[in-house]
Amino acid sequence: MSRQDDGAVIAVVASMPTLAYRLFRSYLCVKIKAKKASKEFYRTLLANGLPKREAKALRDEYGAGMSMTSLIREFAFKSR
């Protein structure tokens, strides 16, 4: 490796904590918005006369798409 390559590697490694923080922060913001949307969805279902049991099942299915494991699986398998 040349000195120029070493500098590029150091720059990338030095920026990793900032990148990880921004990614985690973005994920949390999306997760919070999804939770609010899920609650609103549930309230709307109840207001339109759906039984609580069915409304809860639909709410859980609606919010399940934002789990970290499902996001990783989706990203990993779609990128192939």
- Kindly report the pTM of this predicted structure: 0.66
pLDDT recorded at residue 72: 74
Encoded tokens for 51: 């039984």
pLDDT recorded at residue 39: 93
Number of domains in the chain: 1
Which domain range does residue 74 map to?
Answer: 3-78
Mean pLDDT by 10 residues, the chain (80 residues): 74 88 88 90 96 94 76 72
The residue ranges of DSSP E strands in 1-80, in sequence order, are: none
CA atoms of 71 and 69, how far apart (whole Å): 5
pLDDT recorded at residue 80: 59
